[in-house]
Amino acid sequence: MKQDENHGFSPGDNREPEPSVSSHMAEDGREILEAEHRLPDRNEPVGEENPTPSPQGEPEDRLPPEEGKKPFDIRRELFDWSESFVTAILIIVVLFAFFVRSIGVDGSSMIDTLHDGDYLIVSNLFYDPQPGDIVVLTKKTFMTDSIVKRIIAVGGQTIDMDFETGEVWVDGELLDEPYVHEQMWKHEDMTFPATVPEGCVFVMGDNRNGSTDSRNALLGMVDERYIVGHVLFRIWPLNAFGTVD
């Protein structure tokens, strides 16, 4: 039997091709048909059509690099720390040159509030003297070194004292002075009552019997311009660090 070369398909036929068939004659004269089935090529991919290749030389699961993250640079870190340190030092120098200063206490005229060897931070920036403030002042006609005292009265106020009872009055009001070391009995050459001139202050030490202060005419009423600064806090000793009242 003659088979068509196209195995029964006409040109342009879109049907799926059937397996090709060949024939031979058996001994009894019957024609035996054998279907020729095409086996897939073992190198041909199965089940994938047009696989998408990954970019050459780049793994598919690689994550994109983090944006904006800079590698650690020890030199840059040291430079930043040095810059911050120098800036802090300059700020401290400027503060201590123009706004604040450190003063050491010498003597016992302010015990029990302050003691010999204490170190204080004082400032006169925008300072307006007030009764009760502890101040550092310098009056060369009295003493070349700076002294630390407490303001008892300011300009325009009248101060009076009773040396038998140790009491102090300002403008007729008895002062409550818990900071005084002991009852005052020491009397200098100033006479009372006395009115403090404007622009001046009257000062005494908390250790009234161990202090030379405005009760002595050599110091007397102190011009506010002699005030170096108001005590802000104590920096030494460390166990007493803090503000001072």
Catalytic residue among 54, 70, 82, 109: 109
139-148 pLDDT per residue, tens: 988 888 999 9
CATH number of the domain enclosing 140:
2.10.109.10
User: Is 111 part of a structural domain of the chain?
Assistant: yes
User: Is 166 part of a structural domain of the chain?
Assistant: yes
> DSSP code of 165?
T
Lowest mean pLDDT of 27-31, 73-77, 149-153, name the range. Answer: 27-31
HSE at residue 216, side-chain half, CA atoms within 13 A, is: 14
User: Is 217 part of a structural domain of the chain?
Assistant: yes
The domain tally of the chain equals 1
Compute the distance between CA of residue 186 and CA of residue 164 in angstroms, rounded to an integer: 10
Band (41; pLDDT cuts 50, 70, 90): low
140 catalytic per annotation: no
Q: Give the residue numbers spanning the domain of 164.
A: 102-243
User: Is 56 part of a structural domain of the chain?
Assistant: no
User: Is 119 part of a structural domain of the chain?
Assistant: yes
Return the pLDDT at 148.
Answer: 97
Give this prediction's pTM: 0.65
Which of 185, 108, 186 lies closest to 149 in space, CA to CA? Answer: 108
User: Is 45 part of a structural domain of the chain?
Assistant: no
Contacts (Cβ under 8 Å, ≥6 apart) of 133: 150, 151, 230, 231
CB 136, CB 109: distance < 8 Å: no
Catalytic residue among 23, 54, 102, 149: 149
123 catalytic per annotation: no
203-215 pLDDT per residue, tens: 999 999 999 999 9
User: Is 154 part of a structural domain of the chain?
Assistant: yes
Band (176; pLDDT cuts 50, 70, 90): very high
In our burial notation (b when 16+ CB lie closer than 10 A, e otherwise), range 205-238 reads: bbbbeebbbbbeeebbbbebebbbbbbeebeeee
User: Is 85 part of a structural domain of the chain?
Assistant: no
> Which tokens hold the place of 143?
């003493």
Distances (CA, A) of 93 to 80, 84, 90: 20, 14, 5
- Let me know if 62 is exposed, middle or buried by CB neighbors in 10 A (0-12, 13-18, 19+): exposed
The fraction of the chain above a pLDDT of 70, given in percent, is 70
